[in-house]
Amino acid sequence: MMFTPELLAQSKKELNSNRIKCLNEILINYEDGKEEVYYESIQKFNKNGDVVEESLFYKTGEVYRNIKSVYNKNNEKTEEETCDGKGLLLERRTYVYDTRGRKNGEVQFDRQNQPVRKSVYTYNKQGLKSEMKVYDGGGQLIQMKKYIYEH
């Protein structure tokens, strides 16, 4: 399970104002009067409060996922790499945005850096997301989602 600042009790603003650079999530289980303590995750933040690295752990303390994110000057996530506990690349994602900061697309690559999935977003005149199209690695449309808003 991945946690982002939006899911935590702390907001990006709170992380910034308190100059938080790292968050360690430690889970403590109690069973039969015994306490079992282990790291669940470690998150590292940039100066804007964005998660730039997240490590997820097994109960044994071994890392099973490491996720690194890159942000552009507009504080938009442009790339994310997910590796296994040994550092082997599992997948990579790239993100593109329009001049208004809306996500226009996302491409998912496999461990051989071959595209396996591409999502393209369109927006209506009010700036609301109106459609998402998903293509497979060969460019074939495999799914479309429409967003309909009621006033």
Domain count, the chain: 2
Answer whether residue 14 shows pLDDT above 90: no
pLDDT digits (tens, 9 = 90+) for 55-80: 999 988 999 999 999 999 999 999 99
Does residue 79 sit within a domain?
no
pLDDT of residue 5: 41
Judgement on whether residues 61 and 110 belong to the same structural domain of the protein: no
Judgement on whether residues 96 and 54 belong to the same structural domain of the protein: no
Does residue 36 sit within a domain?
yes
Answer whether residue 136 shows pLDDT above 80: yes
Does residue 124 sit within a domain?
yes
Does residue 82 sit within a domain?
no
Answer whether residue 8 shows pLDDT above 80: no
pLDDT class for 9, splitting at 50, 70, 90?
Answer: low
pLDDT class for 3, splitting at 50, 70, 90?
Answer: very low
pLDDT class for 1, splitting at 50, 70, 90?
Answer: very low
Q: In the predicted model, what is the mean pLDDT of residues 39-60?
A: 93
Judgement on whether residues 19 and 56 belong to the same structural domain of the protein: yes
Judgement on whether residues 4 and 56 belong to the same structural domain of the protein: yes
- Round the average pLDDT of the chain to a whole number and report it: 91
Judgement on whether residues 62 and 2 belong to the same structural domain of the protein: yes
Structural domain boundaries enclosing 56: 1-69
Judgement on whether residues 65 and 93 belong to the same structural domain of the protein: no
Of 69, 102, 121, which closes a domain? Answer: 69
Does residue 109 sit within a domain?
yes
Cα–Cα separations (whole angstroms), residue 120 to 8, 52, 96, 138:
29, 24, 10, 15
Nearest 5°: CA angle at 132, between 114 and 101? 90
pLDDT class for 18, splitting at 50, 70, 90?
Answer: confident
CATH number at residue 136: 2.40.128.720
| Cβ neighbours of residue 43 closer than 8 Å, sequence gap 6 or more | 3, 22, 23, 25, 51, 53, 54
Judgement on whether residues 13 and 51 belong to the same structural domain of the protein: yes
Q: In the predicted model, what is the mean pLDDT of residues 124-150?
A: 96
